[in-house]
Structures are given as C-alpha cells and as structure tokens.
Amino acid sequence: MTNNDFTNEITVRAFMNAQIIGIAQKNGDLKKATETVVKEYELPNNYDIQDNSWIVSLLYCLLVVPKALFEKHGFSKHGRHELFDEQKVKEMIGLFSIINGEEGVQNPFYFIKNLRDSVSHVHYSCDENMNFTFKNRKAKESPFHFECTITKENLLKFLAEFGKLMANNRFILYASDKE
C-alpha cells in the first residue's frame, strides 16, 4: 500500500459514520450530528459521510452478503442471472476501467463475481480521491487475474443502479430463499 492509500481508514470511518447516524436519529439533524462528530474526533470540516467506509459497506451488503441467493438463482461466472437484465448489468460495468479480466466485458456475471470476491477478500484499495481499485485471484498465492478501477462518482452510480436491481428483486430473492 502507498502513503496515499486510504483503505486502512475504512474501519474507523465506519464507526464515525455510525456515530453521526446515531446522533442524527436522536436529534433529527444530520448536519449538527456531523458537526458534533467532526469536533469530537478533530476531523476536517468537509468530512463526508459518503466516504470510503460507506461505499465499502454498500459493496459488502449488495455483493457479498447475498452470495447464497445469487448462487441459488444461477448467478455464476459461467451462467446468467435469471433476475437481472444482462444489458443493464453491462451498462453498469461500463462505469469501470478494466485493467485485467476482459472476460468480464463479455460476461457481466463473471465481472460481478470477481468484484464480489475482491470485496469479500479485501483485495481493494482507495486513494485520497476515493478512486477504487479492485483485484481478484483464483487462489491465495496465485497472481491476480482480475483488476479494475473506478472513480467515486462512478462507483456511487454503480451502487445506486445495482442496489435498485436488488431492491426490485427482493421479493423473488427472499421468497424463494424460504423454500
């Protein structure tokens, strides 16, 4: 990791963001809650709750947590996912710059699986501008076979679109999970 790698701040920022949300829930004012936490922890005045920890939390909840549901519905590196429009997923993948793993351009579910595994195994980094790099490998000691980068702005767009797909399919996902 370089000196400009802000990945190590994710855990601490997650706690601070939870503090902000907890205070805001009590007093109904997100701005004042942020100001309180900024002062308490001597953070910069431009502290943004939609930071690297917020982004990684969403990635984890949208990609890693529902793994069993994805697999149950045919989501695999070789198959298609019955719930998601392949063209829509390809458009979302277009927000990323693929460095290694061109198969992901042809098979969007291969891309999503590698992105999911990157998040799951903490093979990602982010810089001071919240630009993210994701990597994946097949085995612990093997070289990375997948790598992509994305800006914070585009990652937020991806999360919004992928989140909508998950939310719109939640009844199908969870109803069939009880079978």
The model's pLDDT over 18-33, given as tens digits with 9 standing for 90+, comes to 999 999 999 999 999 9
61 vs 6, more confident:
61
What's the pLDDT score for residue 107? 76
Mean pLDDT of 136-150: 91
Query: Which DSSP state fits 126?
Result: E
pTM of structure: 0.79
What's the pLDDT score for residue 78? 46
What's the pLDDT score for residue 111? 86
144 vs 83, more confident:
144
Of 106, 95, 97, 100, nearest in space to 154 by CA: 95
Please, which residues bridge with residue 148 across strands? 98, 134
CA 119, chain centre distance (Å): 7
What percent of the chain is predicted at pLDDT more than 70?
A: 78
Backbone angles phi, psi at 126, to 5 degrees: -140, 145
Q: Where are the domains of the chain?
A: 1-49, 65-177
Average predicted confidence (pLDDT) for the chain: 82
Q: Is 78 helix (H, G, I), strand (E, B) or coil?
A: coil
Torsion, Cα of 133, 138, 143, 144 (10° steps): -20
Mean pLDDT of 1-18: 73
Q: Give 41-92 pLDDT, tens digit per residue.
A: 998 888 888 788 888 899 998 888 877 666 665 555 444 555 667 788 888 8
133 — pLDDT class (breaks 50, 70, 90): very high
Cβ atoms 155, 133 nearer than 8 A: no
Backbone angles phi, psi at 111, to 5 degrees: -60, -50
Query: Which DSSP state fits 41?
Result: T
88 vs 37, more confident:
37
Mean pLDDT of 3-19: 79
